[in-house]
Amino acid sequence: MRHLKAGRKLGRETSHRLAMFRNMVTSLLEHERIETTEQKAKELKRLADKMVTLGKRGDLHARRQAMKIIRSETVGKKLFDEIAPRFKDRAGGYTRIIKIGRRVGDNALVVLIELVEQGKKELEKKGKEKKPAKGKKPAQEKAAAEKPWKEKFKKEKEKKTEKEKKTEKEKK
């Protein structure tokens, strides 16, 4: 029986697992969304919700507890100054997990974990992306309506590749 054995080991030693989750929660709070496997996301959700709760408390002890886990001072400041005030009226459930698909190499279920209340930057990006598309066929509209997140991630990946190409040209 597995009484009092909460949490997943994820095939890693304790120090590796804790370091990985510290890095992941720092990245999640910095970027407000990250892509990972389903099992890692479910464990990360527990830790991220605790960090937001500490941010909502906002006292010195909560800051010190949060900074034991968060690896960056700027992310810690963002947690207490920007993220936590967004959730002041919410009593939990600060993150959401969205299933994306399967990873090509090992067929692992890949998900997107993000903060529920999005910041001003994220909302501005969404507003820019929602321009009406010209010349779409009905079949394309139906496919887009079924899986809107795929288009969003394709656009983000295209932007990243464009930026990488520009940086390579600048280096040459």
Q: What is the pLDDT of residues 90-132, one digit of tens each?
A: 999 999 999 999 999 999 999 999 999 876 666 666 666 655 5
Q: Write phi, then psi, for 97 (nearest 5 degrees).
A: -115, 125
Nearest Cα residue to 79 out of 99, 57, 97, 101? 57
**One-letter amino acid of 45:** K
- The SS3 call for residue 122 is helix
Domain boundaries, the chain: 1-118, 132-172
Q: What is the pLDDT of residues 29-40, one digit of tens each?
A: 999 999 999 999
CA distance 52 to 134: 41
Tokens 């079924």 belong to 146
- The SS3 call for residue 92 is coil
Tokens 């999640």 belong to 28
CA distance 64 to 59: 9
Q: In what order do the strands lie in the sheet with 33-37?
A: 33-37, 109-115, 95-102
> Between the CA of residue 81 and those of 59, 140, 144, 152, what are the distances in Å?
12, 42, 36, 28
What CATH number belongs to 1-118? 3.90.1030.10
Q: What is the pLDDT of residues 16-65, one digit of tens each?
A: 999 999 999 999 999 999 999 999 999 999 999 999 999 999 999 999 99
| Residue 117 DSSP code | S
